[in-house]
Chain A
Amino acid sequence: MKRSERRLAAYLDRLVAGRRPHPFQATPEELAAMTAAVELAAARTGADYPDPGFVERLGRRLRSELEGDAGAPAPAPAVSRRTLLWTAGGSAAAAVLGAVADHTLVTALSAREAETVVPNAGSWRPVAAVQDLPEGQALPVDTGSMRVLLVNDGGRIHALSGVCTHLGCTLQPSPQGGALDCPCHRTSFSLSGKVLHYQLARSPGDLPEVQSRVRDGQVEVFVV
């Protein structure tokens, strides 16, 4: 084998093993091959999520550099800790095997993250005043990319995906309050997102949660 093939092979071996490759002077052809390999390796499910320990350490380092205070806690990232922990865990590699085999990587991703919607490029946006959301009521919010239902479930204000988990019809707050109805197949969800009743052969899934918080009397959601 030629020397150039050997050194590229060594680079790829380390890349696949998840290790830092060794430096070398690459030709343009080698660089093109390397970037294609990097893109593929990064497409493995969960591969491009940071380790929660790294996010925590970097936060502390920044606080120490910017404020001169090493003892204070690091700011939590705008991603739920559970998501970070999950993707850093071992289940990701196992999931890829099945996912890639039938080319449903994208579906697999969305199905597993269904518990809480955490958009990668999301940010906190104020969407309603708390006083606009009386107990037992729901308020639809449309971001263009996401349809969200703000709900006041017995005094607990939170946000749910406003899309039916069966076939994607747009949920509406029920006229009598206290429930979220699908206009397509008489499926109904409680204000906590649980399925109340359905006419289908099998129960659709519960509604994914959307991250929300109350600040200065405003309900804020983490959306794109």
Chain B
Amino acid sequence: MDPEPRPSRPFSVVEGASYPDWESVYRDNVLGIYQLVFRRVGNRADAEDLAAEVLIQTLRTLRFPAPVHDVRSYLVKTARTVLADHWRRHYGRPPETLDSELAERTAALDYLPSASAAARALRILELLPERFRQVLELRFLRGYSAREVAAELRVSPGHVRVLQFRALRKAAELGAEVVE
């Protein structure tokens, strides 16, 4: 063994780093933007449409070289607008949490990794009363139908629908308190 390990090479993000072209922006951000959008619509078809809209809108207006910082912040801002429009068009209004959450993302200039998002969801589940947790875990993490959940928990499918609504509202309350 080396008695004195060699010092690590100092590492720093290159100050003022820029994207040279649209391809580098795409390569670096397509995954983050897709995930950001997917976690706010929950289905692939909508996520693909909206992620495409965000990337196309943003890339059309960029001039290169473009600072990494500006590009990321612009992408998240565009995602905010596109998502709010989507919820407004389809469900009458955007969820209250949408804007504050994305404002934080813009400030952090970074996309939440999958593992952190999953950990947050599990943390919320753990805080729920047992019956609520069971329903949501079976339904949304395991993908059971309402009928299958009813069979598993030995209650009527109608009761599962009532339970899942209450459980989701409770999860939403807790979600506002659980930080990433």
Give A contacts to B, CB under 8 Å: 1, 5, 8-9, 12-21, 23-26, 28-45, 47-51, 54-55, 58-59, 61-62, 65-66, 75-79, 93, 96-97, 100, 103, 105-106, 109-110, 119-121, 123-128, 139-144, 147, 172-175, 181, 183
Contact = CB atoms under 8 A, between A and B. Distances in A.
Interface in B67-120: 68, 87, 89-93, 95-98, 110-115, 117-120
Given A16-B143, A77-B26, A109-B115, A125 B13 contact: yes
B131 interface: no
B97 to A, nearest CB: 6
Interface string B4-17: 01101101011000
B152 interface: no
Interface in B123-147: 124-126, 136-137, 139-146
Contacts of B93: 26, 28, 31
A42 B141 CA distance: 9
B115 A12 contact: no
Given A44-B141, A50-B48, 15 more contacts: A12-B164, A23-B89, A26-B93, A32-B168, A33-B168, A34-B168, A36-B124, A39-B175, A75-B26, A78-B30, A100-B137, A106-B118, A140-B5, A140-B8, A174-B1
Given A42-B117, A51-B44, A139-B9, A77 B164 contact: no
